[in-house]
Amino acid sequence: MLNNKYCCEKHKNKAFDDFLKEHDTFPYIEKVSSGKCNYCDDDASFVLKITKQMGPSELLDL
């Protein structure tokens, strides 16, 4: 099962609905500058993920 779902602006609502159905939980949504939409050949604007990827500054707060 694919954990990340890439989507363009046009398909963000469909991607969100599909993610909820597939994973039974809300996704973390991040803006991206690379990747292709899973629904068309357009460049992806967002990636929907199961878990949040923490950056170095967030790791320090643990």
pTM over 0.85: no
Contact 24/1 with Cβ under 8 angstroms? no
For the chain, the domains span 5-52
Predicted local confidence at residue 51, as pLDDT = 81
DSSP 13-59: HHHHHHHHHHHSSPPEEEE-SS-B-SSSSSBPSEEEESS----HHHH
pLDDT in tens, the chain (62 residues): 458 999 999 999 999 999 999 999 999 999 999 999 999 999 999 999 998 665 554 545 44
CA distances from 20 to 42, 60, 62 (A): 22, 31, 28
Structure-block tokens of residue 3? 């954990």
What's the pLDDT score for residue 3?
Answer: 81
